[in-house]
């Protein structure tokens, strides 16, 4: 797991208020939605799907062989904690009767599936087709604060068929030596994109996917924190712990180990 990194804060865009993407409590900037579909200049479709935790070689896809209208995709999360591992399954494609899918170029990287869906008109050639399924439904939400809690508007992941459906459901594993492992969904982010900043009360993190793909609108930026009270060994200050982190397949993993524990 990684240690201290230096971040050039001049590269961070201004992010007003406490706005986040409703698909992810920690996403503060960039394209929203669990899925994004848009029409390219050559009339093909670009499809982005967030599948955090799925390995780069762990996704499967196929085109409906009967009607050639829909792409089916699926994948499984790889975690040491098999009990909370997620399984994903979903579809994307055409919502019209005038086109058919002729091919799919798919790439899975850092918990994000990107597909170029080629299509051809089979009738009604005079009109440009703009119908596809499902539409881009990415939205913004606010944090609702009361005297006791800060709650975020967060949607369930529509393609999770097994396991936790919400990005704000971070998983915590406490080991026999007192160390704690916590994970967060940051789709598109790799280990080099992460900065973790602990203080005496909490562990903050900042993630920015520096590699912006050709058809993505921009980078995505994630910010969040976890209260040290949930992480500390009894009677041991947070900053006395050994804190390490890394990101794999779009999931940030932070390990907090008390002094003297086996933190390998």
| Cα 11 from Cα 5, distance rounded (Å) | 15
Do residues 207 and 247 make contact, with C-beta atoms less than 8 angstroms apart?
A: yes
Distance CA 187, CA 113 (A): 10
Nearest to 53 by CA among 264, 263, 253, 256: 253
Cβ contact 64:47 at 8 Å: no
Average pLDDT over the chain, rounded to an integer = 82
Would you kindly state where each structural domain of the chain is located, as residue ranges? 26-133
Span of 72-86, 107-121, 178-192 with lowest mean pLDDT: 72-86
Label residue 121 by pLDDT band (50, 70, 90).
confident
Cis-peptide into 109, omega within 30 deg:
no
Query: Is the pTM of the predicted complex or chain greater than 0.75?
Result: yes
Is the pLDDT at 4 greater than 60? The verdict is: no
100-104, 128-132, 252-256: range with lowest mean pLDDT: 128-132
Q: The tokens 């790889």 sit on which residue?
A: 78
- Residue 202's H or E segment, with its range, is strand 202-208
How confident is the model at residue 5, as a pLDDT?
Answer: 47
- Cα separation, 27 vs 154, whole angstroms: 11
Say which CATH architecture domain 26-133 belongs to: Sandwich (2.60)
The per-residue pLDDT for 96 is 82
CA gap 164, 85 in Å, rounded: 8
Distance CA 258, CA 250 (A): 26
102-111, 118-127, 166-175, 247-256: which has the minimum mean pLDDT? 166-175
């Amino acid at each position: 797991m990684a240690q201290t990194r230096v971040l050039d804060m001049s590269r961070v865009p201004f992010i007003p208020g406490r706005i986040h993407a409703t698909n992810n409590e920690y996403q503060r900037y960039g394209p929203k939605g669990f899925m994004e579909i848009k029409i390219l200049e050559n009339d093909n479709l670009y499809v982005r799907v967030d599948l955090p935790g799925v390995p780069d070689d762990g996704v499967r896809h196929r085109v409906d062989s009967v009607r050639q209208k829909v792409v089916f995709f699926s994948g499984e999360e790889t975690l040491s904690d098999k009990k909370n591992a997620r399984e994903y399954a979903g579809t994307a494609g055409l919502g019209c009767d005038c086109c058919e899918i002729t091919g799919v170029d798919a790439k899975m990287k850092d918990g994000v599936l990107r597909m170029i869906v080629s299509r051809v008109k089979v009738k009604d050639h005079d009109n440009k087709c703009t119908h596809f399924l499902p539409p881009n439904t990415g939205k913004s939400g606010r944090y609702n604060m009361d005297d006791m809690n800060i709650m975020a508007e967060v949607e369930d992941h529509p393609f999770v068929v097994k396991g936790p459906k919400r990005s704000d459901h971070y998983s915590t594993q406490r080991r026999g030596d007192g160390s704690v492992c916590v994970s967060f969904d940051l789709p598109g982010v790799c280990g080099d994109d992460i900065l973790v900043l602990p203080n005496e009360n909490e562990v903050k993190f900042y993630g920015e996917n520096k590699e912006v793909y050709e058809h993505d609108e921009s980078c995505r930026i994630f910010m969040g924190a976890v209260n040290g009270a949930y992480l500390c060994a009894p009677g041991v200050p947070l900053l006395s712990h050994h804190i390490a982190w890394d990101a794999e397949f779009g999931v940030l993993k932070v390990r907090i180990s008390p002094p003297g524990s086996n933190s390998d």
